[in-house]
Amino acid sequence: MAQPEPASSDQRLSQINDELSNILEEKIEFLTRTLSETQRFTQKIANTELEIQRNSAQHSRLQGQCDSLSDEVGTLIERVQSATSDRDAKQSEKFEKEKEIQRLEFEIADNQKACGESQERIKGLEGELDVLDKENSKLTSRITVLEEGVLRMKEVRKEYISKIAGLDKEMKNLGALED
């Protein structure tokens, strides 16, 4: 079972975070330098209104950039969260499919085993059927022989009864003659 690659996603998140940190550090360093320069100039030229306005304008611009960067960071965080949710959903779906595949493989193995057992039973029953067919053939032949024997015995019986009747008549006739 292949494991998902959260390391590459996490690594990319770390890279993005490092890049954002570097950008923020650069901007902060830039802001710090600018503020430092502004303070020096303010100390040197405290009376100059033009310099104060320039520093105010620069501060507003930097604040706007900072706000813009904050918005970008928020957007990136949302994208990272969305990508993480998508990844988790795909991993969960993959896990469920792997479980279903494993269940189906077990079911196939059970069905194959049952099929093999059924085939063995069929072979046994076919052998038993052959034996019973042979026995039935023998019994059918025997029944035929016995039926023929019974018919012959009935005919013999009829013959004997007929002979007995004939002999009875003869005896009566002989008995009548002697009287």
The pLDDT tens digits for 45-103 are 555 666 557 668 788 887 888 888 788 888 988 998 998 999 999 999 999 999 999 99
pLDDT digits (tens, 9 = 90+) for 121-149: 999 989 998 999 999 999 999 989 999 99
Q: How many separate domains does the chain show?
A: 1
Structural domain that includes position 148: 7-178
Instruction: Give tens-digit pLDDT for 18-48.
Output: 888 898 888 889 888 888 887 776 667 555 6
Q: What is the pLDDT of residues 159-170, one digit of tens each?
A: 999 999 988 888
Q: Is residue 104 part of a domain?
A: yes
Residue 31 lies in a domain: yes
- Let me know if residue 150 belongs to a domain: yes
Residue of 80, 63, 69, 111 lying closest to 11 (CA atoms): 80
Query: What is the rounded CA–CA span in Å between residue 21 and residue 18?
Result: 5
124: in domain: yes
Residue 146 covered by a domain: yes
Residue 1 domain-assigned (yes or no): no
pLDDT at 178: 66
8 A C-beta contact, residue 16 and residue 73: no
Q: What number is the average pLDDT over the span 6-10?
A: 73
- Does residue 69 or residue 14 have the better pLDDT? 14
- The answer to whether the beta carbons of residues 65 and 27 sit under 8 Å apart is yes
Q: State pTM to two decimals.
A: 0.37
67 within domain boundaries: yes
* 83 in Cβ contact with 6 (< 8 Å): no
For residue 71, the model assigns a pLDDT of 87
